Copies of this chain bind each other. A is one copy, B any other.
């Protein structure tokens, strides 16, 4: 699934381009030009095309690169190590908040670009689906413990949990309304516990 691309060129150069693109998006918003990314990486604009084919390919590679460099898998494993469903939920919200604070700028670009390139859109969908499955699994765990509040199915509660903790609300709360990631985690956890858990 991941290595369908031939992967041209020096891996170090490749990483430098990805890193430069990442930084530029964080600093300057969505309007990054390929020439700027190339300049910061210390390569020519054409090198970008040699490595990634086109703009969408570059962003596509970034989708993989970010969680890898941030060790997302390990952090997710910690969430699923929690002793109870309630604890899982709390850890999940915390992870979401801190992780999103690191990748949200790029995520925003990808959300916008997904409709312009089919392959990129599919890759983004994959990530969303994986997230949804993970959130559902947490609710399933809660239900298995008999703690899911009345009125919910695992599907309904899982989908709501997943969507309510998407980037949009996080972005608005932290970027526009001045919440810290900690405040976000605290308040959202409170909301979700009251909504989905008994007692």
Contacts and interface: CB of A to CB of B under 8 A. Distances in A.
Interface of A: 29-31, 112, 115-116, 125, 128, 132, 149, 151-152, 156, 159-160, 162-164, 166-169, 172-173, 176-177, 179, 187-188, 190-191, 194-196
Given A151-B190, A156-B187, A169 B173 contact: no
Contacts of A29: 115
Contacts of A125: 176
A173 B168 contact: no
A175 B173 CA distance: 24
B176 A160 contact: no
* Majority secondary structure of chain A interface residues (helix, strand, loop or mixed): helix
A159 B168 CA distance: 13
Contact of A188 (B160, B176, B194, B196): B160
Contacts of A31: 115-116
Contact of A159 (B30, B162, B173): B173
A53 to B, nearest CB: 20
